[in-house]
Structure 1
Amino acid sequence: MSTRFASHAGSWYSSARDTLSGELDHWLAQVPASIDGTELPVPGARIIIAPYTRHAGYSYSGPAAAWAYKSLDLSKAKRIFLLGPSHALYLPGCALSKHSAYATPLGDLAIDTSTVKKLQDAGQFDKMSTSADETEHSLEMHLPYIFKMCSQFFNSAADFPPIVPILVGSTNASAEKLYGEILAPYLADPTSVFVVSSDFCHWGLRFQYTYYLPAPSSPAAAGTAGGYSLKNRDKNPTDPLIHESIARLDKLAMDAIETGKHDELLANLADTGNTVCGRHPIGVIMAAIEVLEKDGQVSGAGLGRFKFVRYERSSEVEEIGDSSVSYASAYAVL
Structure 2
Amino acid sequence: MSGIRQATHAGSWYTDKGKELNKQLEDWLGAAELSHGPARAIIAPHAGYQYCGACGAFAYRQVSPHVVRRVFILGPSHHVRLAGCALSVNAKYRTPLYDLVIDEQIYAELAATRQFEWMKQQVDEDEHSIEMHLPYIAKVMEDFKSAVTIVPVLVGSLTPEREADYGRLFARYLSDPQNLFVISSDFCHWGQRFRYTYHDRTWGEIHQSIQRLDRMGMDIVESLNPPAFTEYLKNYGNTICGRHPIGVLLQAVSHLEKTGQKMSLKFLKYAQSSQCRNMSDSSVSYAAASLVFE
Q: TM-score band, normalised by the shorter chain?
A: over 0.9
Is 1:285 the equivalent of 2:285? Answer: no
Does structure 1 residue 71 correspond to structure 2 residue 71? no
Match of 1:212 among 172, 180, 199: 199
The aligned counterpart of 1:311 is 270
Q: Does 1:195 align with 2:182?
A: yes
TM-score normalized by structure 1? 0.85
- Structure 2 letter corresponding to 1:321: S
Runs of 4+ in 1 over 6 A off after TM superposition: none
Give yes or no for contact 2:188–2:239 (8 Å, CA) kept in 1: yes
1:142 deviates by: 0.4
CA contact (8 A) 2:40 2:174 kept: no
Q: Is the 8 A contact 1:84 1:139 kept in 2?
A: yes
Q: Find out whether 1:259 has 2:223 as its counterpart.
A: yes
Residue 122 of structure 1: how far off its partner (Å): 0.1
Residue 213 of structure 1, CA deviation? 1.7
* Counterpart position of 1:182: 169
Aligned equivalent of 2:146, options 141, 158, 175:
158
Distance 2:44 2:198 in 1: 24
Distance 1:190 1:12 in 2: 31
CA distance in 1, matches of 2:269, 2:259: 31
Equivalence for 2:92: 101
Q: Tell me, in whole angstroms, the C-alpha distance in 1 between the residues paired with 2:23 and 2:46.
A: 18
Amino acid at match of 1:206: R
Matched ranges for 1:92-171 at <5 A:
92-151=83-142, 153-154=143-144, 157-159=145-147, 161-171=148-158
Which residue in the other structure is 1:233 paired with? Answer: none
Could you say what secondary structure the match of 1:158 adopts? Answer: coil
1:148 shift after superposition: 0.1
In the aligned structure 1, how far is the partner of 2:54 from the partner of 2:177? Answer: 28
**Which secondary structure state, in structure 2, belongs to the residue aligned with residue 263 of structure 1?**
helix
SS at match of 2:141: helix
Matched, 1:29 2:30: yes
Deviation, 1:78, is 2.0
Name the % identity: 47
Partners of 1:277 and 1:209 in 2: how far apart? 12
Does residue 328 of the first structure (1) align with residue 279 of the second (2)? no
* CA-CA distance at 1:178 after TM superposition: 0.4
Larger radius of gyration: 1
Superposed counterparts of 1:212-231, under 5 Å: 212-215=199-202
The two structures, once aligned, show a CA RMSD in angstroms of: 1.1
Deviates more, 1:323-332 or 1:1-10: 1-10
- The CA deviation string for residues 190-249 of structure 1, in whole angstroms up to 9 with x for no partner, is 21110100000000001000011231xxxxxxxxxxxxxxxxxxxxxxx61010000000
